[in-house]
Amino acid sequence: MFNALVVEKDEDSGKTSAAVKQIGLDDLPEAEVTVAVEYSTVNYKDGLCIGPGGGLVRKYPHVPGIDFAGTVEESSDARYTPGDKVVLTGWRVGEAHWGGYSQKARVKADWLVPLPEGLSTRQAMAVGTAGFTAMLAVMALEDHGLVPGHGPVLVTGAAGGVGSVATAILAHLGHEVAAVTGRPETEEYLRGLGATKIVAREEINETVKRPLEAETWTGCVDAVGGAMLARVLGQMKYGASVSAVGLAGGAALPATVVPFLLRGVNLLGIDSVMQPYANRLRAWERVAKDLPMDKLEAMVHSATLGDLPGLGRDILKGQVKGRVVVDVN
Ligand code: NDP
């Protein structure tokens, strides 16, 4: 028997509740690889799946945790043997499939990647889905022409998980980084990660009044969406790109098409969940190379399985700073 965070749903009230419980190997879903999980983390989606589900969880009881890193214990797939260190993000693990908030997880071999060279399992989860996605967002900007030296790159939701990692990576790559935050108290933290300018959320969170404003940003990693993304589109420099990663501020996009038509602005969609294997490897290699480990450490808070119900509520309220690493043991 081993520990897992189990979410149950009361059929009468429809309410869910999460608690650490003992489960056994027979309780785990059928799949090729059993992993002894070492670390997991807390992403926005985890907040939904620990709590009311947000339409993501298919059936209860459920074990959330959309990402984990650990050691293979058993495998019926030739690509993995016991003792291999592995990482998992995406594929709807922790939503449609039981996830990483457990001392053991059983998953498809296709969903795993080998632990990237140069990272420990703890560091891989300090990066986690949020950091992996931040790297995909930066890579997409680069693939569309972003190079240092042409002006500031904007990061929205900067003190959150995606935003913190994007800030540190962009600064390390030599970009000037402007960090948007609704939490002025995080200024020192964000400057420590390499931000050179702090933009107050209120400054940029208003509904679009003019479709085009001064050409200000040479790229943007956007974790917020909604009115902020709409506004940012009109502030991009000619031909610049925005990586749309998240919807912490809303799913609607109250924008006009004018920035696309008159300034050749590109809106790039970033999905980490179904990302093909080759690009996953490429992103993890870039993380190991371009994310300074001292900056990563500065973002990390440690937690245990028992802390997760509270942390799930906090992340949904935008109150988690940086990255949480969950030691499931
Ligand atoms: P966090 O909660 O850690 O970060 C989100 C940040 O957004 C907050 O810290 C806050 O930053 C800001 N924010 C929160 N609420 C609002 C609001 N109402 N208006 C403006 N800003 C707000 O979450 P993550 O970094 O883990 O995820 C960020 C987003 O990216 C989420 O929507 C998530 O679902 C999405 N995501 C998407 C992925 C993909 O594959 N596309 C993968 C991973 C995440 P501050 O306090 O600095 O203002």
pLDDT digits (tens, 9 = 90+) for 18-63: 999 999 999 999 999 999 999 999 999 999 999 987 789 989 999 9
Whose CA is closest to atom 16 on ligand 1?
249
Position 99 scores a pLDDT of 97
What topology does CATH give the domain 2-115+297-327?
A: Quinone Oxidoreductase; Chain A, domain 1 (3.90.180)
Tens of pLDDT, residues 257-301: 999 999 999 999 999 999 999 999 999 999 999 999 999 999 999
SS percent in the chain: helix, strand, coil, step 5: 35, 30, 40
Q: Is 315 in the pocket of ligand 1 (CB under 6 A)?
A: yes
Spans of all domains in the chain: 2-115+297-327, 129-269
Our mutation pick for probing the ligand 1 site, out of 162, 177, 300, counting the most ligand atoms within 8 A of Cβ, is: 162
Does pTM top 0.90 for this prediction?
A: yes
Q: Is 133 in the pocket of ligand 1 (CB under 6 A)?
A: yes
Examine the pLDDT at 160 and tell me if it is beyond 90. Answer: yes
Rounded distance, CA 157 to CA 86, Å? 29
Position 14 scores a pLDDT of 86
Q: What one-character-per-residue DSSP string does 140-184 give? A: HHHHTT--TTSSPEEEESTTSHHHHHHHHHHHHTT--EEEEES-G
**Domain over 129-269 is classified CATH 3.90.209.20:** no
Q: Is 161 in the pocket of ligand 1 (CB under 6 A)?
A: yes
Task: Tell which atom from ligand 1 comes closest to the C-alpha of 272.
Answer: 40
Tens of pLDDT, residues 78-101: 999 999 999 999 999 999 999 999
Distances (CA, A) of 133 to 85, 208, 260, 274: 21, 27, 24, 12
Rounded distance, CA 229 to CA 233, Å? 6
CA of 160 to the centre of ligand 1 (A): 6
Distances (CA, A) of 135 to 77, 113, 175, 177, 322: 29, 16, 14, 15, 15
Rounded distance, CA 178 to CA 218, Å? 11
150, 218 contact by CB (below 8 A)? yes
Percent of the chain having pLDDT more than 90? 93
